[in-house]
Structure 1
Amino acid sequence: MRTSTGYLIQSLPGEVLAEVRRTGRDASGQPPQRRTAEGGEPLRCCLRDAGAGEPLLLFGYAPPLPAGPYREVGPVFAHDGDCPGPDHGPGYPAGWRGRPQVLRAYDRRGRIVGGRLHDGDEPEAVITELLADPAVDRLHSRNVVYGCFMFAVTRR
């Protein structure tokens, strides 16, 4: 998703979700779990919270990083059926404003080179500040409590 601020906010790639559905296996080789949303589960395919009753998949995902010791697999929720992707327009996911997040900064080798906890207010300022460091290649937004990957941020 393009923004006017010099970076891209990237949801779970559709091809990754299609592969999980096609093969019935996640990044760890395990079958995804089918769930019915209780409501509030953060959907990585469309960058919004699920509504109660939506059919979901819960599966292990390896966020975009080069192979190395900082690459990890963690749980993510996505729609169990077709999803058109984010519909909130360019920029930070509107429904996630005000939600505390951790932004982890990675270099081109995929090593952590910094990060920042933010309260969810004015996330663009935090993203811009972290990307101002030339050593930073990308950011991962992470859930504060569970540490789960939420979305990636890369330079345009």
Structure 2
Amino acid sequence: MTSRDAFRLTALPAESFAPLFALDANALAERRIQRLAADGPGYFCRVGLGHVGTGSDLLLLSYEHHPAASPYRASGPIFVGHAAARAHPAPGEIPGAMRPGLFAVKAYDAQGDIINADVAEGAALESQIARFLRRPDTEFLHLHFARRGCYACRVERVD
């Protein structure tokens, strides 16, 4: 990996969601947020960048992951675990929970427009990320779970 294609995954900050866990069902419903208990595997927390355990308290909410002043502005559903601490993967690290997945990898320029996109298996994310980061006009990437289209995390270049 060269310095041009070195990367780091960026999780969402826990403090952005912590106050929501104190809300009652009515207040959550007004915000179109659902409180759930994980009933098995498959609930990927965007703060911890991993799956929450069965029985864990979590929220399902719409999150604006791409607030750009661009036609590509976007939001979508995410899960956030109640006890999640913000993950800080090392440069070049892909969390183990992401390895079995299939991801849409989207490259954005400085204006927030998509300049490239492809699909990659979790086991091959490094090579796909590196390929997109080699483009000088790539500002950052987003990873989405390909099958449901939900936002997973942001990828930033490490200098």
Give TM-score scaled by structure 1 length.
0.83
Instruction: Please list the CA deviations of residues 1-54 of structure 1 after superposition, one character each: whole Å capped at 9, or x if unmatched.
Output: xxxx6222111122322364578679xx82421001122211111011122111
Q: What are the within-5 Å matches in structure 2 for residues 1-156 of structure 1?
A: 6-18=6-18, 20-21=20-21, 30-39=31-40, 40-79=42-81, 81-86=82-87, 89-90=89-90, 91-156=93-158
Instruction: Please list the CA deviations of residues 42-76 of structure 1 after superposition, one character each: whole Å capped at 9, or x if unmatched.
Output: 11110111221111100010114423221111000
1:74 partner amino acid: G
- Percent identity between the two aligned chains: 28
1:86 partner amino acid: A
* Runs ≥4 residues deviating over 3 A: 18-26
Residue 73 to residue 52, structure 1, CA distance change in 2 (3 Å): same
| Structure 1: gaps spanning 5 or more residues | none
Residues 57-66 or 11-20, more deviating: 11-20
Structure of greater Rg: 2
Q: Distance in 2 between matches of 1:132 and 1:22?
A: 43
In the comparison of the two structures, how many residue pairs are matched? 148
Return the structure number with greater relative CO, CA threshold 8 A, min gap 6: 2
Q: Distance in 2 between matches of 1:68 and 1:20?
A: 28
Q: Distance in 2 between matches of 1:122 and 1:145?
A: 17
Superposed CA RMSD in Å reads 2.3
Q: Distance in 2 between matches of 1:59 and 1:133?
A: 33
Residue 22 to residue 31, structure 1, CA distance change in 2 (3 Å): farther
Contact 2:66 2:74 (8 Å CA) reproduced = no
Q: Distance in 2 between matches of 1:69 and 1:147?
A: 18
Q: Distance in 2 between matches of 1:93 and 1:124?
A: 11
Greater fraction of residues in helix: 2
1:34 partner amino acid: R
Alignment partner of 2:106: what SS? Answer: strand
Alignment partner of 1:135: what SS? Answer: coil
Q: Distance in 2 between matches of 1:135 and 1:22?
A: 42
Residue 106 to residue 19, structure 1, CA distance change in 2 (3 Å): farther
Give TM-score scaled by structure 2 length.
0.82
